[in-house]
Amino acid sequence: MHDMHNYSFASLLRHGINKHTTWPKAWRSPPLRDSYDVVIIGAGGHGLATAYYLAKEHGLTNIAVVERGWLGGGNIARNTITIRSNYMRDESIPFYVKSVALYEAMTRELNFNTMHSKRTMIDVIQNYPMMRDRRRRQHIMDIYGSTYEQISEAEVRKRIPALTGGGPDARLPVIGGMVHTDAAVNRHDAVAWGYARAIDAMGGEIHQQTAVESLVRGADGAIEGVQTNRGLIRAKKVAVAVSGHTTTLTETAGLTLPLRTMNLTAFVSEPVKPLVDVIVNCPDAGFYFSQSDKGEMVIGGAPDMGQSFRRDIKQHVFEDTVSAMLSLFPSFKKLKLMRQWGGHLDIAKDASPIMDETDVPGLFVTAGWWGGYKAIPAGGLTLAHLVATGRPHELMEAFTLKRFRHLDYVMETGTTTAR
């Protein structure tokens, strides 16, 4: 263990006088050892948060996070950073309420500015069945202290002045909205780097450019370690936190998991003057967006049809999303779009996450986090609990792999923002 360099106004002044040449490294790059108590695969949000809570809550510091690319370079860097808790199921909502609260406290907890910006999300509703689904969610969210409130069409337009389409003559006129005041956006790099720095300070290790090629089982069938491009690493406990690549990896241990991998896409406009101060979600049209602090419109669209391990956006998916957006926001026609991309995400049959010890003793998975950026802090908290104690955390009890054995689905309509 070594002390974490505290970031403060005083340290900024001190290092500023030295022309910023004296800042210490935020985390070390220690030599890779051949065994650890716990190996976590994937330095995305979920892997890093798990390592953080293993060290912080359970005192487990002989741990390594292994990452085939670079830290925070997976889907955590490719998502649209919408943090919210407007889910539908009694099993889901308390988990997301907890995650939102942990995000709100993160800047102070990690002494790292995550640029947390709490800004209401407004669903623009254009269909009565959608309105019914949202009001059903509202009743359940009420029980768990998450906020959802119906507003009129006039109120929607007052709060989102750029929404000039969807009038009475449109194919789908805007009929009202739902307001979720708990929603927020923040800075994804800061989340990854803040966790990495804290893990390092508590003695945990992060190894980049370390790809797991296969999971290794012992003679008794239990997990024994992982085979990587840098050799065998032994561990009695291994946690798989690789988002879209879960099944590719768990197949190497002979497991078949009920997950599909899909490519979800997003794109970003040039920066413009402040225009929208809420997160706008249009579930009937099939897109959502928010304006970043830099002024860019960050726009999320639809996934590709079918399973996909691509990381780009197809022309017709892109065109569909843009035309849906222009039907409600015609003035956005003038926006220049700067970048577009996609990311591999996995999703289970019931659109709820999976967190469990698998049939291979000592091998844990956290997967099916379709919209799982918002779930990172609570996902880490609960997986660390499971790995350290062998028992599921109460917030994740319903989300085992075993539920599929009993066909005991947790069907969740809140998983995707836009549909």
Ligand X SMILES: Cc1cc2nc3c(=O)[nH]c(=O)nc-3n(C[C@H](O)[C@H](O)[C@H](O)COP(=O)(O)OP(=O)(O)OC[C@H]3O[C@@H](n4cnc5c(N)ncnc54)[C@H](O)[C@@H]3O)c2cc1C
- Footprint of ligand X on this chain (CB under 6 A)? 41-47, 66-69, 73-76, 78-82, 211-212, 241-243, 245, 249, 264-266, 300, 343, 345, 369, 371-374
Is 75 in contact with 343 (CB distance < 8 Å)?
A: yes
Is 328 in contact with 286 (CB distance < 8 Å)?
A: no
- Which listed option, ligand X, other proteins, none, makes contact with residue 310 (CB within 5 to 8 Å by class)? other proteins
- Which listed option, other proteins, ligand X, none, makes contact with residue 108 (CB within 5 to 8 Å by class)? none
- Which listed option, other proteins, ligand X, none, makes contact with residue 307 (CB within 5 to 8 Å by class)? other proteins
User: What letter does residue 335 receive in the DSSP assignment?
Assistant: P
Nearest to 245 by CA among 44, 36, 38: 44
CB of 254 to ligand X, least distance (A): 16
Q: What are phi and psi of 402, to 5 degrees?
A: -60, -20
Is 355 in contact with 386 (CB distance < 8 Å)?
A: yes
400 scored as a contact of other proteins (CB under 8 A): no
Angstrom distance (rounded) from CA 32 to CA 36: 10
Chain-centre distance for alpha carbon 11: 31
Q: Whose Cβ is closer to other proteins: residue 118's or residue 314's?
A: 314
Q: Which two tokens stand for residue 61?
A: 């510091």
Instruction: Describe the strand order of the beta sheet including 149-151 as a list of residue ranges.
Output: 149-151, 176-180, 121-125, 279-282, 287-291, 297-303, 259-269, 337-348
Q: Whose Cβ is closer to ligand X: residue 153's or residue 393's?
A: 393
259 scored as a contact of other proteins (CB under 8 A): yes
Q: Whose Cβ is closer to ligand X: residue 126's or residue 210's?
A: 210
CB of 59 to ligand X, least distance (A): 23
Q: Whose Cβ is closer to ligand X: residue 241's or residue 253's?
A: 241
Gap between the terminal Cα atoms of the chain: 46
Considering only residues 281 to 340 of the shown chain, the ones binding other proteins according to CB under 8 A are 304-310, 314-316, 320
CB of 412 to other proteins, least distance (A): 15
Q: Which two tokens stand for residue 340?
A: 């577009």
Q: Which two tokens stand for residue 102?
A: 């942990």
341 scored as a contact of other proteins (CB under 8 A): no
Q: Nearest residue by C-beta to ligand X?
A: 44
Three-state DSSP class for residue 18: coil
Q: Whose Cβ is closer to ligand X: residue 153's or residue 207's?
A: 207
Q: Which two tokens stand for residue 360?
A: 């291979």
| Burial class of residue 410 (count of CB atoms within 10 Å of its CB; 0-12, 13-18, 19+) | middle
Angstrom distance (rounded) from CA 153 to CA 336: 29
- Which listed option, other proteins, ligand X, none, makes contact with residue 414 (CB within 5 to 8 Å by class)? none
Directed axis angle between helix 188-201 and helix 45-58, to 10°? 30
Q: Whose Cβ is closer to other proteins: residue 58's or residue 260's?
A: 260
Q: Whose Cβ is closer to ligand X: residue 37's or residue 304's?
A: 304
Q: Whose Cβ is closer to ligand X: residue 153's or residue 200's?
A: 200
| Burial class of residue 194 (count of CB atoms within 10 Å of its CB; 0-12, 13-18, 19+) | buried
| H-assigned helices in 88-187 | 93-104, 106-110, 128-143, 153-159
Which of residues 260, 337, 341, 400 is near other proteins by CB under 8 A?
A: 260
CB of 378 to other proteins, least distance (A): 25
- Which listed option, other proteins, ligand X, none, makes contact with residue 266 (CB within 5 to 8 Å by class)? ligand X
404 scored as a contact of other proteins (CB under 8 A): yes
419 scored as a contact of other proteins (CB under 8 A): no
Q: Whose Cβ is closer to other proteins: residue 118's or residue 260's?
A: 260
Q: What are phi and psi of 182, to 5 degrees?
A: -80, -10
Which of residues 6, 18, 21, 256 is near other proteins by CB under 8 A?
A: 256
Q: Whose Cβ is closer to other proteins: residue 142's or residue 408's?
A: 408
CB of 89 to other proteins, least distance (A): 18
- Which listed option, other proteins, ligand X, none, makes contact with residue 177 (CB within 5 to 8 Å by class)? none
Nearest to 120 by CA among 164, 33, 182: 182
- Which listed option, ligand X, other proteins, none, makes contact with residue 47 (CB within 5 to 8 Å by class)? ligand X
The residue ranges that bind other proteins (CB under 8 A) are: 245, 247-248, 256-261, 304-310, 314-316, 320, 346, 349, 404-407
